[in-house]
Amino acid sequence: MDRRRLGSTHVAGAILVALALTASASAQEAGIVGQVTDESGGVLPGVTVTATSPSLQVPSVVSISDERGDYRLMPLPIGTYTVEYTLSGFQSVRREGVRLTVGFTARIDVPLKVGSLKETITVSGAAPVVDTSSTAATTQFTRETIELLPTSRNGIVSLLAQAPGVRTLRDVGGSSLNEVPTYRVFGQAGEAYSTLEGVQTSSLQASSGQANYWDYTTLEEAAVRTLGNSAEVPSRGVNLVGIVKSGGNDFHSNTAFNKTGPGFQSSNIDDRLRALGLAGGTDLADRYSISSDLGGRLIRDRLWFYGAARRQIDDSQPLNTFMPDRVTPAIAKEVAYFVTSKLSYQMSKANRLVGFYQFNHKYTTSTLSQFFPWEHRGGLMTPSRTAKVELQRVWSNQLVTSAQVGYWTYDSHYWSFAPRDTPPSLDLQTLLNLGPMATIGQRPHNPRYHYKANATLYKPELLIGSHEFKFGFDYTDNWFGRQYPLLDPNTQLSGAFSSWVWPYRLRPSNGFASCQVSAGAATPCRVEMWNNPAEAKVVSHYLGTYLTDSWSVSRRVTLNLGLRYAHDNGFVPASCQVAAAFPADAVYPAGCRDKQQFNIWSSVAPRLHASWDLFGNGKTVLKGGLGAIRPSAPTSAGNGRGRLAGAHHHHLQMARL
């Protein structure tokens, strides 16, 4: 089955799964909970609690306090809310400016005074900012933070650089525009988990950042969690969550332009370095970004839309690199652009359908330097895509279900301007590269289908305290391969050749003139043979299931308990390959290979965390926890079991307003 047909099959299946399930917005999950009392502290059942916000796609959300005076408004989309409390015979209370961020549950306890129903007390400027129930160490980025802080606006790099304990690329005003965004937390590399609109975008490599490019200007909010992840998160590394802007009943738009010229860059090249032949460093030639977006309604309270586009340029002169005249600086072109769209359809008061798509185009001149002449320069173009279909449903204040089908992929096309009749070569003495680069014709492909669903059940006064149970799963079908397919030799990309024609590279150490590759060559030459064409492919199937319990033992103590089971299966499928092109066929003959099964890992990971509101006022919270992983590794054939191994992590923190 070819790649296009396989993709169509997955997409059709994804749509059917999404439409067959009912769901709520887990990616934007937030809420408001609390208790209503009278002036003496007695609980008040039957109080109508109404929340309104421009973020709601319905006029309002209503809850009634129960026999203990407790109420719950969950889940709610992120945004700013007004909450009003009304009960016959009591003065109404209105709380304004309640800000909900990603994953934040605001606790608002309200006392009502006896009085006329027409009297309303408005309270503003007292919104809670400390989450007394969450136990994760989280850095929140609201829309104001994202838009107003003086960052380079360079995707996840600019977000992670602001989170304590996280280290990422060195970025100066967008200098790492097209670099792979690698990162670590508290010195630990790998195990990162990044989701954009709930879709996993981090790679399975140790760097975790392959083609993990986001348009910073489209983000409504983001959160970086470094410690205390619940069982919903597969790994213990940094967890990055990004939420894209949505439309609204009112139209909104923003256009931005920024530019950095060469005059903002200093130089440390002095006369001594110039005398040694170093004419210049890596100099900035041009850098700018332009972006624009528009959001609004197609049908009020029913159908919202959001769209955005962005283009970024970061052209530079590589160190000591010039045009053929050896005078004019050679410029390495760097371009990136994004296109984003999002639709939100409120089918009914309890059902909402969301569709999202973001496309990124990366073009980079990666092989241009004093060792890669201008005439032989090369690079790559990488298109990446992130998409989802989400169907949301709220059954009641106590039962919520959620499901989502996501898709993420990136491809690369390597290109070169080198003359096609010049064989690739690397002089081992001068390190000069001529001819097409070694990666010419490479076509990496990494499609991932991400399925997830969960159900949340709230049970008040069960055993001791109240419990919020959550059960869910996530499954990823992923494969990756740095392939070298057999293409038309004249395949081009933006005027450059983008297919391989040479299956080897010359490696002389005494000049190129004496290096020949032919049956009658008199002078031997070191040759690097390549196994082209090649259809590399590695498959991974990951299934994770989890059960969590947010147990409110009392109004001041919350235990977040969780257990996650994961099954990770990776393998290289069976394949047959033709012989490599001459003369590499002598080294790489035709043949078939059996399936290569990696160890199948199964793991059980308990997550035990707690939070303590020290004074009961929601301003000082002590949080801590312990996590462990107990993987069991079968043999490579998958028919045996290995011994248990373990990994542990724990944390303690205090949040203070």
Give the count of alpha carbons within 13 A of 82, CB side only.
14
Residues 308-323: pLDDT tens digits? Answer: 999 999 999 998 888 9
Asked if residues 314 and 174 have their Cβ atoms less than 8 Å apart, the reply is yes
Helices (H), 103-154: 143-148
Q: Residues of 231-247 as b/e, b for ≥16 C-beta within 10 angstroms?
A: bbbbbbbbbbbbbbbbb
Rounded to whole angstroms, the Cα distance separating 539 from 349 reads 41
Confidence label for 4 from pLDDT (cuts 50, 70 and 90): very low
Report angle CA 416, 417, 423 to the nearest 5 degrees: 75
Confidence label for 656 from pLDDT (cuts 50, 70 and 90): low
- Of the two residues 476 and 185, the one the predictor is more confident about is 476
At 43 the pLDDT is 92
pLDDT value at 533 more than 80:
yes
pLDDT value at 232 more than 70:
yes
Asked if residues 624 and 614 have their Cβ atoms less than 8 Å apart, the reply is no
DSSP state of 4: H
Average pLDDT over residues 14-36: 56
Confidence label for 637 from pLDDT (cuts 50, 70 and 90): very low
Lay out the sheet containing 166-168: strands in order across. 166-168, 183-185, 188-189
Average pLDDT over residues 626-631: 68
3-state secondary structure of 386: strand
Asked if residues 345 and 309 have their Cβ atoms less than 8 Å apart, the reply is no
Average pLDDT over residues 566-584: 93
Strand pairing class (120-123; 92-100): parallel
At 478 the pLDDT is 94
- Of the two residues 379 and 272, the one the predictor is more confident about is 379
Rounded to whole angstroms, the Cα distance separating 333 from 312 reads 11
Q: What pTM does this model have?
A: 0.86
Rg value, the chain, Cα:
29
At 517 the pLDDT is 55
- Residues contacting 463, CB < 8 A, separation 6+: none
Q: How far is CA 363 from CA 59, 177, 307, 400, 486, in A?
A: 45, 10, 23, 43, 23
Confidence label for 646 from pLDDT (cuts 50, 70 and 90): very low
Residues 349-362: pLDDT tens digits? Answer: 888 899 999 999 99
Residues 61-120: pLDDT tens digits? Answer: 999 998 889 998 988 898 999 999 999 888 899 999 898 988 888 888 899 988 765 666
Average pLDDT over residues 207-226: 88
DSSP state of 261: -
